[in-house]
Amino acid sequence: MTPLSLSFSSLLKNKDSLQKFFNCYNAFQAQHDLPRYFGNRTPWKKALIPVISKNSVNPDTIFANNEMSLGDIEIYGFDYDYTLAFYSRHLHTLIFNIARDILIQEHRYPEGLREYEYIPNFVVRGLHYDVQKALLMKIDAFHYIQLGTVYRGLHPVPDKEVIAMYDGCHVPLENMSDFYGKSSHGHTMKQFMDIFSLPEMNLLCSVNDYFMKHNIDYEPVHLYKDVKEAIGDVHVKGIMYRAVEADIENYISYGQQTHAVLKKLYEDGKKMFLITNSPFDFVDRGMNYIVGKDWRDLFDIVIVQADKPGFFNDRRKPFRRVTDKGVLHWDRIHKLEKGKIYKQGNLYEFLRLTGWRGSKVLYFGDHIYSDLADLTLKHGWRTGAIIPELRKEIKIMNTEECVHLMTWLQGLTGLIEHMQVHRDPASQAVVQEWIEEREAMRSQTKDIFNGQFGSLFRTYHNPTYFSRRLSRFADIYMASLSCLLNYDFHHTFFPRRTPLQHESPFWPEQTSAGALKMPFIPLHNHN
């Protein structure tokens, strides 16, 4: 048995033991010809790291932020885009290309921008954009910028420069975006919460990159507004809708088993409704492809062009009935009937006409703000967030590389926390080496998910601003509606009871340094 197979608690009782451990640590390094700072696939992982659990997370799981029983749900509501219909990456490329061309043709931007193409894995959802400084970045739940994730154009900004610009890493509340993630008067930040915003972020970075590369003096605020308007035109003018309808098989990813979910709910006697911002022709074409021509028979109410989030707050807009050919009726709406199509309207009128109130209603959407926030805060509906990125991130988390990396990172963090009390030069030198190794490993964990911005859900150690909003506004969340097929309609979802910082955990290594008298981080013999 090598000395390294002993528990850390028996080795690290004082500074002499600390030095002894470090000597053994170096001896083990030399014995196995390991690099000073470990790479991703070196044999130290299997030798040093106890694999905490070999149980992988099922990507088709439904995760709970709040306890909720499907047995209490009588009515199911849905958004359309990225909830019932999922799109291929071809759609993001299409939106990017059209908006780029609008900038050139209608806003007189340089022809050289045509050299830029959509970069599929460059950005992640939930990022913030500083409109005045033209910087794209990831911010955590406490309004702190994650260093290493700040980009000007297509290139990272050095940490020292970021700290100088923001006088640290904290973004004051008054500079953050408004409730719906928008940059409004008095706010300098815009948060991109919509999956459709991925091409917008790409375009902002591309245009910034072109201007900087060619030493063109420009006003960042004008650039942001022009890109925002160009992206808006792709939707408002119907360009995207027509393109998708003309080549639907290329743009809609069929395979999320949406039809099976809707059929299961219908056969169980659940009422269903659709509230979407998309126009009827676009929705009808997509649902015919996904579900079939009889898709409207499954829904009790269909509302298009709802103008969310205004739909949930503006009491002034009445409903209008629309024919299959898009003709608007002028008659007053006294009830919402199955088989008919309605547009605009507002939630207060919807509640009055249907009587569908409170926790018996569950609404699914992909936009944390526009789809879910008002429903849970103001109306007491239950909410389900559809997060397509979740499936990819869970698959990454399940890899042996990620499990080993995260396990060692957690152990190393606990080691630093416990041993930092030794202030003599030799001990501090050891701790400093561990700190440097930890910093290198934290960058590795970020790069596993996305080389520029890391995970959608976590900064180095804190939840992201996106995660904070997700946990606040969604009772449950999942990768797609198909996850519902794994549960019966009496299933109760329970959130995990994770210990608060002051509560006694089941696993000692989760405890902060001062909470237990003796640190204990097990290290098993793998000889």
Q: Quick check: helix, strand or coil at residue 158?
A: coil
Strand-pair partners of 257: none
CB 334 within 8 A of CB 316: no
CB 66 within 8 A of CB 81: no
Strand arrangement of the beta sheet that strand 319-322 belongs to? 63-64, 476-478, 382-386, 361-365, 75-78, 271-275, 301-304, 341-344, 319-322
Active site residue 60: no
Given the residues 60, 81, 268, 307, the one annotated as active site? 81
Task: Find the angle CA(111)-CA(113)-CA(118) to the nearest 5 degrees.
Answer: 145
Cβ atoms within 10 Å of 168's Cβ, excluding its own: 11
CB 446 within 8 A of CB 460: yes
The amino acid that residue 40 corresponds to is N
Given the residues 33, 60, 72, 79, the one annotated as active site? 79
Active site residue 79: yes
Per DSSP, the chain holds a count of helices (H) and strands (E) of: 17, 16
Strand-pair partners of 301: 273
Location of structure tokens 């198909």:
482
- Catalogue the E-assigned strands of 227-318: 271-275, 301-304
What's the CA gap between 474 and 484, in Å, rounded?
A: 16
Positions annotated as catalytic residues are: 79, 81
